[in-house]
Structure 1
Amino acid sequence: MTRSRRRVLHAVAAAALSTLALGAAAQDAWPSKPIRIVVPYAAGGSTDQLARAIQKPMQDFLKQPVVVDNKAGAGGTIGTDQVAKAAPDGYTIVFGNSGPNAIVPLMRKIPYDPLKDLRPISTVAITPMILAVPADTPARTLKEFIALARQQDWNFGSVGNGSLSHLTGEHFNALAGLKLTHVPYAGGAPMMTAFGGGQLQAAFVTGLDGASMLQAGKVKYLAVATPQRTNTVPGLPAIAEEVPGFRSVAWFGVLAPAGVPDAIATKLHAAVEYAVTRPEVQKMFAERNIEARASKPEELAKTIRDEMAQWGEVVKRSNVKMD
């Protein structure tokens, strides 16, 4: 090898090492500017409330502003797609849930692959779906409700066609042998208002959706959709005690673009974990029957895959479609 060629190779190697060093230094310095959390739903909804609960603790941990940006539409897929296509530098992340990450893709084509284009960081909250009924419903137990529902032309509400609350109701119909008619609403707030107006006989809600109406004495809870009873919603039986095999649990969590470097993903996970363990966050969640829970990224990834399998069967069986 000639001396000049050796010089060229040495220069190339030095440049490559320098680039790697600069990349590592940039990751070590991350974050150096504000982080944007995209909430793919309107402000004020349950997902938005939870995202804003961890906003300040994450900001305190990362020492940079953390900004919540609502990008609603198409069942949460518009905002989620924006993050899936964002630069994988950790400065744009999404506060997701079952809908755009596991359920909507089962019913219509979306512009991203939730298993390939997004990198799970951590869950933030876990909450069982809860069977809620108007306070004046004569049924005092789940068993009484099922018996009455078999004799009546009753309905159930949801926060939207193809939502988790919708699929949970269809799943309940199938396993309990009922024919409750589905009535979709454009979100949790209008659905709960329908309860107050006497337009619904039942709905599967999260603790966030049901909290105000429960406190006002306009609805009551009959059972939870965890496989067993849970301290998250104390005092209620599990639906599975009367309807074997029934389960429906909602999660909320943080995901990033798939190409985010490991070092940055690790820092994001640490920030979420810190936020979830703050006493004020845990108190706010507990008051709304929600469990504050961070998870390893691989656990969230498994949850998404498991949900696709579970709800895929329900979609096929019930022939649920989205516009």
Structure 2
Amino acid sequence: MTTTGSRYTPYTFFDGTRRRLAIAAACAALAFGATATGAFAADAPYPTKPVKFLTNFPAGGPIDILARALGDALQKDLKQPFIVDNRPGAGGNIGADFVAKAPADGYTVLMGIDSTFTINPHLYASMPFAAKDLKPLMIFSSSGLAFGVAQGVKAKTLPEFIAQAKAEPATFSSAGNGSPGHIAAEIFASETGAKITHVPYKGNAPAVLALMGDEVQAGILATPGLLPQIQAGKLRALAVTGKQRSPLLPQVPTVGELGLKGLEFEVLYLAMVPAATPEPVMQTLRGSLQKALALPEIKSRLSSLDMVPLGETGGAASEHLAASQARYGRIVKATGMTVD
């Protein structure tokens, strides 16, 4: 029997049903595939793609050199590229903020120094990220600072330089506002009565270049950056800020030997990740970094940079940073240190 006006003939009904069944089957297959893919991705060992080591200071500085050496080692161990990306500015705040807002998946790791977290919060009226946004992965190493002067400076010893700076203000370069060189210069002025003018640059390497070019007279800068120029005779070192003399500059006295123990200072070189980064991912990165620090070539690199290996993680790293932050908070308050 034919029903006039009806568009559902036995043929068209069957055809439509077959089409709907086919669509349903395809959807089920896609859903299964997506589930299977998701399960595979969840079970896939980290890392499955390139990892970015973001440094918050310019290329050529100590942390950049260290990040590249460690990146090469991790690339060999974890079989994925580790790419160094430099994003300097605002005492390291710009790069740190970028990482704080990155996905917490282990593919963006901050390679920096402690001052961004231990000095800047006391110095800047507002920070672009909160302390809770990042957590330490590891403190790799530490180094002291060297008190370097340009060749044009007449003073041959630190006491001579102090006398000179009391009579006429001395210009000091640093790696930027809030950097170790900035706070060290302020401590120096506070402890000795010397008059200083702080000149911030965008990183340790530019600060060293300014000193070499006689743009400034002095700089209390990370030893790894100053060391090659001191050894080449292009700059002079008047003191080092470590508790012991540097094995690479054994003829240079410590600030403690010269009666300035308040100027003893260390820089911490570290990695931070977004706070929500999964623990298994952090374990993979920490394990590979520990293996890297044990490699002869990395030990040699640290030694050539006058760095002491630490490898601190977890509570030890957090406590070390907290102690430094408390100390620098007292110094910033006592010296009246400001952002230039």
Same fold (TM over 0.5): yes
Q: 1:276 aligns with which of 293, 299, 305?
A: 293
- In 2, the alpha carbon distance for the partners of 1:73 and 1:147 equals 34
CA 1:245 to 1:99, structure 2 compared with 1: closer, same or farther past 3 Å? closer
Q: Is the 8 A contact 1:35 1:66 kept in 2?
A: yes
CA 1:151 to 1:42, structure 2 compared with 1: closer, same or farther past 3 Å? closer
Provide the residue aligned with 1:294 in structure 2: 311
> Which of 1 and 2 has greater Rg?
2
- In 2, the alpha carbon distance for the partners of 1:203 and 1:27 equals 51
- In 1, the alpha carbon distance for the partners of 2:137 and 2:295 equals 18
Q: Deviations over 1:52-96 (max 9, x none)?
A: 111110111222221222223332222212221222222221102
Is 1:264 matched up with 2:302? no
- In 1, the alpha carbon distance for the partners of 2:220 and 2:39 equals 48
CA 1:181 to 1:94, structure 2 compared with 1: closer, same or farther past 3 Å? same
Q: Is the 8 A contact 2:173 2:201 kept in 1?
A: yes
- In 1, the alpha carbon distance for the partners of 2:154 and 2:282 equals 51
Q: Shift of residue 47 of structure 1?
A: 2.3
**Which amino acid is 1:77 matched to?**
N
- 3-state SS of the aligned residue for 1:29? coil
Aligned residues with identical type, % of pairs = 34
Is 1:67 matched up with 2:83? yes
- In 2, the alpha carbon distance for the partners of 1:41 and 1:138 equals 31
CA 1:214 to 1:117, structure 2 compared with 1: closer, same or farther past 3 Å? same
**Which amino acid is 1:50 matched to?**
L
Q: What are structure 2's unaligned runs of at least 5 residues?
A: 1-34
**Which piece of structure 1 moves more, 23-32 or 80-89?**
23-32
Provide the residue aligned with 2:15 in structure 1: none
- In 1, the alpha carbon distance for the partners of 2:97 and 2:211 equals 33
Is 1:84 matched up with 2:94? no
Q: 2:201 aligns with which of 185, 191, 202?
A: 185
**Which amino acid is 2:337 matched to?**
V
Provide the residue aligned with 1:304 in structure 2: 321
Is 1:222 matched up with 2:238? yes
**Which piece of structure 1 moves more, 121-130 or 70-79?**
70-79
- 3-state SS of the aligned residue for 1:294? strand
Q: How many residues align?
A: 302
- 3-state SS of the aligned residue for 1:240? coil
Is 1:320 matched up with 2:337? yes
Q: Is the 8 A contact 2:57 2:202 kept in 1?
A: no
Provide the residue aligned with 1:35 in structure 2: 51
**Which amino acid is 1:205 matched to?**
L
> What is the root-mean-square deviation of aligned Cα atoms in Å?
2.6
**Which amino acid is 1:264 matched to?**
V
Q: Shift of residue 306 of structure 1?
A: 1.8
Q: Is the 8 A contact 2:90 2:177 kept in 1?
A: no
Q: Is the 8 A contact 1:233 1:289 kept in 2?
A: no
CA 1:36 to 1:243, structure 2 compared with 1: closer, same or farther past 3 Å? same
- In 2, the alpha carbon distance for the partners of 1:174 and 1:27 equals 56
- In 2, the alpha carbon distance for the partners of 1:257 and 1:190 equals 29
CA 1:232 to 1:311, structure 2 compared with 1: closer, same or farther past 3 Å? farther
Q: What are structure 1's unaligned runs of at least 5 residues?
A: 1-18
Provide the residue aligned with 2:255 in structure 1: 239
Q: Shift of residue 131 of structure 1?
A: 0.7
Provide the residue aligned with 1:195 in structure 2: 211
TM score, norm. by length of structure 2? 0.79
TM score, norm. by length of structure 1? 0.83
Provide the residue aligned with 2:147 in structure 1: 131
Q: Is the 8 A contact 1:192 1:210 kept in 2?
A: yes
- In 1, the alpha carbon distance for the partners of 2:338 and 2:288 equals 37
Q: 1:249 aligns with which of 266, 284, 289?
A: 266
Q: Deviations over 1:245-287 (max 9, x none)?
A: 3321111111111122222212211111222222222223322
**Which amino acid is 2:290 matched to?**
E
- In 2, the alpha carbon distance for the partners of 1:153 and 1:245 equals 21
